Amino acid sequence: MGLTLSSYYQWLNPFNSNLSVEEEEKAMLTYYRKRKRGSKIGEILKYYTRRTKRGCARQKEEIVPSSCNKRGREEGDGDSVKEERAVKKERTIAPCSSPRASFLSPHSTSNCYDMDLWTEVAKHMDGRELLMLSFTNRWFKRLISEDYIWKYACLRDMGIPAPCPVSFPWKEIYASSFDGSHSFCFRQQDKHMDWMRIGSFYLDSPFVLLTETLSLPRRLPRPGSDVKRSIELTGTCSLTNARTGIWIADLQLVRCPVCNLETCEGTMQVLDTRHVELFLEEDYLDETWKYQEIGSNRIPVPAAAAVGGIFDLPNLSSPSTAKILNPKSWIGPPTDWQPKAKIGSHAVAVNTNLQPNDGIFVRYQVMKDNNGKVVSIRISQQLI
């Protein structure tokens, strides 16, 4: 006959009469793990192993008393130490059940990439910041590559309120306008000394007035009249074929163009204006388009100032142009010899008070495209 569970207790108790039932179970498990005799004993071991596991599961729910030492158990409690070790052995790896952060949820993630939101944010960034944002990831690269983003940046930074049609992407126009380049970067670099960006203005019409004085004559030259004769008589002239749109104005300081002597201290002031798309034209970059002199004026008497102005004729009476034609408000006192510039929505002018001199020589130059449209205008002054 096999050994039953009740007969096993009767056999075990005489040798362990002072042990409790739980201690007897532990002693039996320890003994028969060393000596696995017979199949019936193996079944008994499996039974008590399952029973021990159930006891460990109940112990996990118990709270550790606050009077425990640093290891979380009372000193001298050997049985509790053994039980806790048994519990640790039975613990298994389980996934974390902590709640997901709200800002990582799919709904909030989609809000982080809201196109309308980031379009509004981009309106407050300059070109450098827009490029840095486009390097973040592919989504921002697609957003920043949109042409309307750069169109808004161009019109904002140039101070042009009205949009205008262009032939090149606005991103390229922005880069050519704010990368620090000017017309003397491409030609006559050896003559260039210094420059200053004045700003941008807008030509609504192809009719432009060029002048070397801010005191305009009562009778302005008619469009289409003889340009050279008008310059010699009144110091002003009218153009009828300027390209409309945004124009950029710079003030250039170059060396004397008459001689090539290194010791010559002669300088020339140039009011240099150009259409905003000029630096993107291939015919300009390969020097197919060249400057042409349309007239000059030699003033053999001492001049108080070197002045140059470009005005959009239909907007000559606008408030912004009227401020430019009031030189006392911005040219400074006669002893102030620093160049001054004033720009409006449809006009630009420069003024430099001069020291005692023998006169001044003024030149007018224009550059035309293949269609005969004027894309650049220069008014230069040089002391005699």
Taking 50 as the threshold, does the pLDDT of residue 58 lie above it? yes
287-338 pLDDT, tens digit each: 999 999 999 999 999 999 999 999 999 999 999 999 999 998 999 898 898 9
How many structural domains is the chain composed of? Answer: 3
- Average pLDDT score over residue span 202-214: 94
Closest C-alpha to 270, from 157, 187, 372 = 187
Asked whether residue 159 falls in the same domain as residue 193, the answer is no
Taking 60 as the threshold, does the pLDDT of residue 64 lie above it? no
Task: Please report which confidence band the pLDDT of residue 47 belongs to, taking 50, 70 and 90 as the band edges.
Answer: low
Closest C-alpha to 72, from 83, 81, 60, 82 = 81
Position 95 in a domain? no
Positions of E strands within the chain:
192-203, 208-211, 236-239, 245-255, 267-275, 291-299, 305-312, 340-343, 347-353, 360-368, 374-383
Q: pTM (2 decimals)?
A: 0.69
Position 2 in a domain? yes
Pick the more confident residue, 358 or 98.
Answer: 358
Position 209 in a domain? yes
- What integer pLDDT is reported at residue 19 of this predicted model? 57
Q: Is 20:28 a contact under the CB 8 Å cutoff?
A: no
Asked whether residue 310 falls in the same domain as residue 283, the answer is yes
111-169 pLDDT, tens digit each: 567 888 888 888 889 999 999 999 988 989 999 999 999 999 999 999 887 777 899 99
Asked whether residue 378 falls in the same domain as residue 231, the answer is yes
Query: What do you get for the CA distance between the two ends of the chain, in Å?
Result: 137
Taking 80 as the threshold, does the pLDDT of residue 21 lie above it? no
Position 374 in a domain? yes
The residue among 138, 155, 175 that closes a domain is 175
Task: Please report which confidence band the pLDDT of residue 104 belongs to, taking 50, 70 and 90 as the band edges.
Answer: very low
- Average pLDDT score over residue span 185-199: 87
Q: Which of 70-84, 91-105, 279-293 has the highest mean pLDDT?
A: 279-293
Mean pLDDT lowest among 22-31, 78-87, 270-279, 314-323: 78-87
Closest C-alpha to 268, from 325, 350, 163, 213 = 350
- What integer pLDDT is reported at residue 267 of this predicted model? 82
Q: Which domain holds residue 32?
A: 1-59
CA dihedral 163, 168, 169, 175 (to 10 degrees): -90
Asked whether residue 200 falls in the same domain as residue 335, the answer is yes
- Average pLDDT score over residue span 26-34: 61
- % of the chain beyond a pLDDT of 70: 68
- Average pLDDT score over residue span 248-262: 77
Taking 70 as the threshold, does the pLDDT of residue 101 lie above it? no
- What integer pLDDT is reported at residue 114 of this predicted model? 80
Contacts of residue 110, Cβ cutoff 8 Å, sequence gap at least 6: none
Asked whether residue 127 falls in the same domain as residue 192, the answer is no
Position 93 in a domain? no
Pick the more confident residue, 355 or 45.
Answer: 355
Pick the more confident residue, 86 or 223.
Answer: 223
- What integer pLDDT is reported at residue 81 of this predicted model? 55
User: What is the rounded distance in angstroms from the CA atom of residue 245 to the CA atom of residue 334?
Assistant: 35
The residue among 42, 59, 76 that closes a domain is 59
Task: Please report which confidence band the pLDDT of residue 105 belongs to, taking 50, 70 and 90 as the band edges.
Answer: very low
Asked whether residue 155 falls in the same domain as residue 223, the answer is no
Pick the more confident residue, 43 or 143.
Answer: 143
Q: Is 303:292 a contact under the CB 8 Å cutoff?
A: no
Average pLDDT value for the chain:
79
Position 41 in a domain? yes
Asked whether residue 239 falls in the same domain as residue 327, the answer is yes
